[in-house]
Structure 1
Amino acid sequence: MPLSCFWDCRVPEDEKKHDLLMCVSQAIATSLEVSIDSVRVIIQEIPESQWAAGGQTLAERRASEKSLI
């Protein structure tokens, strides 16, 4: 059973999330030549305040990037 996970992909509209799930499912099924019924795709949304890179949360990094503009 193929499984694909998207972490914090920032897709605010449910319709676009649905489109993403359907397109990725079809692409996996086609490329692996498996039944789409066996494909699983998960969108796991994580708040930027709970995800860190380089010792800063993503929220902090985005705030500092915006201040440079």
Structure 2
Amino acid sequence: MDSSTMETVIHSCEVILESLAREVPHLKKSVEQIKQMNPNDPFLLHVERLLENAKQADATARMTFDVAMKTDVT
């Protein structure tokens, strides 16, 4: 992998992680609010899935970032 590609991968991971850092707290708050108002709301399942997907995306981005940082581009 050349250094330009590596920089792109690292930047992409940073963007994903920053986005998730902003959105995950909002999703968690939404889940709690919906649970309090109507624990059987079908929208709750959708938001919980979004939260789970965000957690998986976070883990994948962190792993990719770690690998990219350890990859020798020489």
Per the normalisation by structure 2, the TM-score is 0.31
Pick the structure with more helix per residue.
2
Pick the structure with more strand per residue.
1
Higher relative contact order, structure no. (Cα contacts within 8 Å, ≥ 6 residues apart): 2
Per the normalisation by structure 1, the TM-score is 0.33
